[in-house]
């Protein structure tokens, strides 16, 4: 299941991050591809002038997804993580990628409340990611089987 989770999570993150074939400055670091500050399996720091292809950037993102899964599990706890469906795990991986941590309380028994907390984060950074938070909240409450058949 992890391979499928990692692939789906990478696709989800890529959808929201957008792609840049050339390095660009973003707040505190040079980034490339789908917002990555490192490149390749050796996690070389991105520097000005670096370039990549969409295919290579996707491979790089897939390599990094386990790192953000780790952050999500660490922040919500393994007991909570294990109660989540794949859609919810993807949302947490995306939040960890975007924030560096899980910025919302997570309660597997109250999906609507967790979705509400995710929506509230849409106000962060002047609302730049409001659409992303709405999509995450929607995915959070969607049973996994629906997503599989979509």
Tokens 């390749």: give the residue: 40
For 58-107, the pLDDT digits (tens) are: 999 999 999 999 999 999 999 999 999 999 999 999 999 999 999 999 99
Q: How much is the pLDDT for 30?
A: 97
pLDDT digits (tens, 9 = 90+) for 49-58: 999 999 999 9
List the chain domain ranges. 2-149
Answer yes or no: are the C-beta atoms of 54 and 21 closer than 8 Å. yes
Q: How many residues does the chain have?
A: 150
Q: Which fold has domain 2-149?
A: Lysozyme (1.10.530)
CA dihedral 130, 131, 136, 138 (to 10 degrees): 120
Buried b / exposed e along 24-56 (16+ C-beta atoms within 10 A): eeeeeebbbbbbbebbeeeeeebeeebebeeee
- The whole-number average pLDDT for the span 29-58 is 93
Q: Compute the distance between CA of residue 144 and CA of residue 150 in angstroms, rounded to an integer.
A: 10
The pLDDT value given to residue 147: 45
d(CA 20, CA 96): 20
Identify the band that residue 31 occupies on the pLDDT scale cut at 50, 70 and 90: very high
111: helix, strand or coil:
helix
Q: What pTM does this model have?
A: 0.90
Out of 15-19, 40-44, 115-119, 136-140, pick the least confident: 40-44
Phi and psi angles of residue 22, each rounded to the nearest 5 degrees, phi first: -120, 150
Element (H, E) at 21: strand 20-26
DSSP-assigned beta bridge partners for residue 29: 26
Alpha-carbon distance of 136 to 30, in angstroms, equals 26
Under the banding of pLDDT at 50, 70 and 90, the label for residue 145 is low
């Amino acid at each position: 299941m992890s391979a499928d989770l990692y692939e789906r999570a990478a696709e989800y993150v890529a959808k929201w991050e957008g792609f840049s074939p050339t390095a660009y400055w973003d707040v505190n670091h040079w980034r490339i591809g789908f917002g990555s500050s490192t490149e390749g399996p050796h996690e070389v720091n991105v520097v000005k002038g670096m370039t990549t292809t969409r295919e290579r950037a996707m491979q790089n993102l897939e390599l990094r997804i386990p790192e953000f899964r780790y952050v999500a599990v660490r922040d919500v706890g393994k007991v909570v993580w294990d109660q989540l469906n794949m859609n919810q795990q993807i949302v947490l991986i995306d939040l960890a990628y975007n924030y560096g941590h899980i910025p919302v309380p997570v309660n597997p028994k109250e999906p609507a409340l967790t979705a509400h907390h995710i929506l509230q984060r849409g106000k962060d950074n002047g609302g730049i990611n409001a659409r992303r938070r709405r999509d995450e909240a929607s995915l959070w409450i969607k049973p996994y089987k629906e997503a599989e058949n979509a």
